[in-house]
Amino acid sequence: MESAAVGSSGFGASSRCKPGEVAWLVPDPDSSWRRISYWFDNLPGPVTPRQPLPGDLEADVVIVGAGYTGMWTAYYLSAIDPGLRVAVLEREVAGYGASGRNGGWCSAFFAVSPESLTKSYGLDAMGAMQRAMQHSVDEVGAAAAAEGIDCAYRKGGTASLARSAAQLASYKADLDGYRALGIGDDDVVWCDAKGATDLVSATGVLGGLFTPHCASLDPARLARGLAETIEGRGVRIYEQTAVTRVQPAGPNGASQRIETPHGRVRAPVVVIATEGYTAQLPDRRRRVVPVYSLMVATEPLDDSTLSEIGIRDGITFTDGRHLLIYGQRTPDGRLAFGGRGAPYHFRSQIDDSFDRVPKVHETLGETLGEMFPVLEGVAITHRWGGPLGVHRDWHPSVNFDRRTGVGSAGGYVGDGVSTANLAGRTLADLICGRDTELTRLPWVNHRSPLWEPEPLRWLGVNSGLVAMGQADRTEAKTGNPSRLAGVVARLTGY
């Protein structure tokens, strides 16, 4: 389904892109779902919600949330024990959250740095976590291929471009740290200015890092294909079914009771797989903060423009700024590009109106135009966004309490495409009582501290965003690393 921008301009002489709205030109009953993201708009078939929970239900495992975490957990549970009665409850439609809105990076990046992992758990545990993440990148591709999910999986790696003297110094320090931990050229390669520009022909490139452990993909096609796959394995997905309460198990191994407007589900095991939406559950409001990340997509680019940009097919790209940006070239020749900067909303509020922030979307357009001047005159056709989950210590985790039967995973800090696959495999092993290499990884049963109560949470998160933006401006002006960024990193745990 095609969409066109109404009232939006392309990249003008100053590389500015003014905000506009996307109008769906052909009336379509599923157009509200297609507005979620470019990826949803690009789905080949209709987005028709599945039936809600028909009434009270008994299950062996009930999963709250039909995003990557919940659906990968169901996928691997069905492989280990096909006889398990697994039900997935989803408030909207499968892939509605970050799983259908993200930048399409299936990467081995973990939110906790190798240095921090080593300090907390030791060198062997860090290495095991790194290998598990790298394998997860390949596992997503292998599973998609095995199940016939056409999600445009292309393993091209990630180019991290240094586009200022401060960024160059930061990346060189990172490389020294990797080498000190035994991370070699197979995992991270240093690129000089020419080598980095050969990967991505952005302006002002001084050098950078390249890792092969990343694939680009279409996240919504992966999510929707995964939903169809697990249904084919007997997993029941009930959409349009909001969970209002999870009542813990009683004594003597009684089942959990999950309350919805359509009925109750009883199961001895419940998995909370709600990621950025976790704060909307009454007893979990301070466990995860929903931080918004926004994206834009250009119109399809002609061959000449694509050649001048020089982004190799399948490669993902970023640079060394503190207020993160991320991009890829889509299979139909667009640039899909995102970044942080949208505000955190008081009391962890989430609302559809927060998905589009004109100022942030305009800045993303300006940044693209500054990186690739050849985009002058190219239209932005899609603008969207959504929340991602962040723990107080910026540490993702996967948890399962065998005593209560409650499992959870999340806090991926925007690197969830492959991490959620690892979480799903790990949760399946934990639920089935299997002692594996996955269940011994350092993130298993890690407990993050709670976020501060309001208004401290609102002040802290938004002050951090403002400070990181100021740090980027200071570094661009002076060429020196920002001390402010280091202070904020220590205060936030990032």
Tens of pLDDT along the chain (494 residues) come to: 333 322 222 333 233 333 333 433 344 556 789 999 999 999 998 899 999 999 999 999 999 999 999 999 999 999 999 999 999 999 999 999 999 999 999 999 999 999 999 999 999 999 999 999 999 999 999 999 999 999 999 999 999 999 999 999 999 999 999 999 999 999 999 999 999 999 999 999 999 999 999 999 999 999 999 999 999 999 999 999 999 998 877 655 567 789 999 999 999 999 999 999 999 998 888 999 999 999 999 999 999 999 999 998 799 999 999 999 999 999 999 999 999 999 999 999 999 999 999 999 999 999 999 999 999 999 999 999 999 999 999 999 999 999 999 999 999 999 999 999 999 999 999 999 999 999 999 999 999 999 999 999 999 999 999 998 898 888 888 888 887 777 777 666 55
Beta bridge partners of 10: 379
Q: Which residue has the tokens 């007893």?
A: 283
On whether the CB atoms of residues 413 and 394 are closer than 8 A, the answer is: yes
CB atoms under 10 Å from CB of 56, counted, come to: 12
Nearest to 188 by CA among 201, 171, 200: 171
CB atoms under 10 Å from CB of 48, counted, come to: 10
Q: Is 172 helix (H, G, I), strand (E, B) or coil?
A: helix
CATH superfamily to which 51-153+212-297+323-352+379-451 belongs: FAD/NAD(P)-binding domain (3.50.50.60)
Structure tokens belonging to residue 333: 């020749």
Q: Which residue has the tokens 């904020």?
A: 488
The four Cα atoms 182, 443, 484, 168 give a dihedral, to 10 degrees, of 30
DSSP 373: G
pLDDT of residue 23: 35
On whether the CB atoms of residues 272 and 399 are closer than 8 A, the answer is: no
CB atoms under 10 Å from CB of 38, counted, come to: 25
The four Cα atoms 256, 257, 260, 265 give a dihedral, to 10 degrees, of 80
Structure tokens belonging to residue 172: 């060189």
Q: Please, which residues have CB within 8 angstroms of residue 250's CB and are 6 or more apart in sequence? A: none
Burial class of residue 477, CB neighbours in 10 A (0-12, 13-18, 19+): exposed
Please give the Cα distance from 99 to 102 (Å, whole number): 6
In degrees and rounded to multiples of 5, residue 234 shows phi and psi of: 100, 0
CA dist 221 → 38, 224, 356 (Å): 11, 5, 22
pLDDT of residue 18: 35
Q: Is 189 helix (H, G, I), strand (E, B) or coil?
A: strand
Q: Is 191 helix (H, G, I), strand (E, B) or coil?
A: strand
pLDDT of residue 473: 87
On whether the CB atoms of residues 128 and 185 are closer than 8 A, the answer is: no
Please give the Cα distance from 147 to 75 (Å, whole number): 11
- Residue spans of the domains in the chain: they are 51-153+212-297+323-352+379-451, 457-494
pLDDT of residue 252: 56
pLDDT of residue 22: 40
R_g of the chain, CA atoms, integer Å: 22
